[in-house]
Amino acid sequence: MSTTATPARAPHGGLPTGHKPAQGRVGAGLFDPGQLLKSLPDAFRKLDPRVTAKSPVMFVVWIGSVLTTVFSFRDPGDWFGWTISVWLWLTVVFANLAEAVAEGRGKAQADTLRKAKTGTVARRLTRDGAEERVPGTELTIGDLVVCEAGDSIPGDGDVVEGVASVDESAITGESAPVIRESGGDRSAVTGGTKVLSDRIVVKITTRPGETFIDRMIGLVEGAARQKTPNEIALNILLASLTIVFLLAVATLPPFADYAGAHLTMVVLVALLVCLIPTTIGALLSAIGIAGMDRLVQRNVLAMSGRAVEAAGDVSTLLLDKTGTITLGNRQACAFVPVSGTTEAELAAAAELSSLADETPEGRSVVALAKEEYGLRERREGEPAGAEWIAFTARTRMSGVDVDGRKIRKGAAGSVVAWVREQGGEVPEDAGALADRISGAGGTPLLVAVEDAEGARVLGVIHLKDVVKEGMRERFDELRRMGIRTVMVTGDNPLTAKAIAREAGVDDFLAEATPEDKMALIKREQAGGRLVAMTGDGTNDAPALAQADVGVAMNTGTSAAKEAGNMVDLDSDPTKLIEIVEIGKQLLITRGALTTFSIANDVAKYFAIIPALFAAVHPGLNRLNIMGLSSPDSAILSAVIFNALIIVALVPLSLKGVRYRPVSADRMLRRNLTIYGVGGLIAPFVGIKLIDLLVSAIPGIG
């Protein structure tokens, strides 16, 4: 049995949910320059030292800005001190701006979600079965509420009675309604969504203020975002580098005094700010917020930044077969006649027996007969006088009695038994054909007829799980990432092996039970690998909780959503592949900008150090390879570049560095080439250009 459900179809043939982007959300990964202006007030509010202190690097810059401002007030005529002070404050503001822009996009999404929070009146059922109207805010866990067409669902819960069409556009952005029904894996409903038809009874599973929408709002606004282990480790590294450079700068005044040079506090602060890794220190928080934001833009809610990072380090991917690797519905792909029967005769009988079969398999038989064998489409009421035989679990057959003929279609054993009951004989090759189709991973359906010539088997319909287009290529990409894919299915090993071979997965787990999935995840984790999986049923909850990245479908049960650390609002199981790519993009972006930040500090050394001591040690002029015009312009140019590069990198930190599925070695070489070498070259060019502009100002050059 499959572990994930395909998205529920809307009534009257509507499209399944999850096949178009959410409406009313900020464009995925897009950078809006206008957002910079909108976020400026927040950037200035973040100058509060209690906020700035959360980033050790930028807190040092903040303290330096205060010191230079104080010394500038002591010497109001010192234009150099005032200019340095202004650009140091701008450096802090630009760092705050990067974080404010990232948070601003989350707030825009939160505003959209708040519109879904409406004050509703709930029709709560009392113990004697009567209804009472109460405010939705008074509902408690375990309450039963009735919702009918036109009602808003007052809180998160599970459908315990009935089936209804529900509009979830306020949550997913998808206009097509979905089906929610009691039992099974599509019973969960979300507060704020609207019932479009029928009547359901919902059991409330959350308290007011703790609903799914409330959690979403808190997460996308960044209020609940905690620093991840990697982010904490990088902050510690940056703080350590800052302390090292702080000690190094603190030792310079005695050496300078001994050499006959005097270093002012303004110059020392400027040197310190240019030496410490301010670029990555300014952008680090924005990178983390933007990573979660990219998931939200794809309608995936990450319960923590840790889950996003874990997705980037995943090495084993558990994917359900039905609805993920395959389309989820078996399709007729061939009519295989027994000896003495033609394909056309078999196709005509198969089509006739399937006209009243509204299952996806039945419709595919009719479509195949029409497309491949030119059989005309029959109109409603044809054939006249037909008596349709519905499929039942007992008979395992369906068919039609018409014009003195009886046609049956169904499981091989059932059809064979029916033919023999009618006094007919079964050809020897019928069993062989069915076994061959089963061995290939397909499902055989026998077609038989009883007419004036007696009862006989006409042949076999080959049903197969259709692998989604492009899945093999996507698995090849995952393999190049170093990720091992495992298909999980309830099918028998023979069928599972055939599907796995066609799809191109690395391994498969057949006849999987919840215990089997748990055992597989634990084995992978024991080997030091991180595991990701999808699920939607209550029976998936233990495995989702055990996996490092557990993606629960929004169509699934509350237990599954509580167990996972991500929820896919579109309930598209293939999105797990995108989640892995976003996680890797987050890690790559952080690494690339860290490399760039540390590399561009080298150019600042060549700008400032010669300028400080060239007057007393003329030999240091050889290090002035940029040919900067004067010590003052060199220091000022380095400080200005240090501030402007933060603004220049804001779009990249929000969009993320483009991820390509290559090996770790190639990725490292590529990033070192682009961001390492680029981080060395860009400051030389930028500082020189700024120096040319600064030196043209009278009194500086």
Give the contacts of 251 (CB within 8 A, at least 6 positions apart): none
User: How many Cα neighbours within 13 Å face the side chain of 100?
Assistant: 24
Question: Does 294 belong to an annotated binding site?
Answer: no
Catalytic residue among 158, 185, 214, 320: 320
Do 20 and 10 form a contact (C-beta atoms < 8 A)? no
Give Cα separations from 243 to 59, 61, 65, 249, 632 (angstroms). 12, 13, 17, 10, 26
Is residue 396 marked as binding?
yes
Any idea which residue has 């054909």 for tokens?
433
Write the DSSP symbol of residue 527. Answer: T
397 is in an annotated binding site: yes
Query: Apex CA 420: angle with CA 419 and CA 422, to 5°?
Result: 70
Determine whether the annotation assigns residue 393 to a binding site.
Answer: yes
540 known member of a binding site: yes
Three-state DSSP class for residue 631: helix
Max CA pair span of the chain: 120
Answer yes or no: are the C-beta atoms of 325 and 501 closer than 8 Å: no
Q: Is 363 annotated as a binding residue?
A: no
Q: Are 514 and 542 in contact (CB under 8 A)?
A: yes
Asked if 293 is an active-site residue, the reply is: no
| 361 marked as part of a ligand binding site | yes
- 491 is annotated as contributing to ligand binding: no
Q: What is the dihedral of CA 629, 631, 634, 637, to 10 degrees?
A: -110
- Hey, what amino acid is at 247? L
Rg (Cα) of the chain, in Å, rounded? 34
Which residues touch 198 (CB under 8 Å, ≥6 apart)? Answer: 148, 149, 162, 163, 164, 165
Question: What is the enclosing helix (H) or strand (E) of 401?
Answer: strand 397-402
Q: Is 391 one of the annotated binding-site residues?
A: yes
Kindly state the tokens that stand for 288. 């983390």
Known binding residue 354? Answer is no
- Nearest Cα neighbor of 575 from 300, 302, 312 is 300
Write the DSSP assignment of 553-604 as a string of letters: ETTS-HHHHHHSSEEETT--TTHHHHHHHHHHHHHHHHHHHHHHHHHHHHHH
Q: Order across the sheet with 549-553: list the strands.
A: 300-302, 566-568, 549-553, 531-535, 316-320, 484-488, 507-509
Task: Report whether 394 belongs to an annotated binding site.
Answer: yes
Element containing residue 485 per DSSP (H, E): strand 484-488
Residues 535 and 550 sit within 8 Å (Cβ to Cβ): yes
Annotated binding site for ATP: 357, 361, 391-398, 409
Query: What is the set of active-site residues?
Result: 320
**Which residues are annotated as part of the binding site for Mg(2+)?**
536, 540
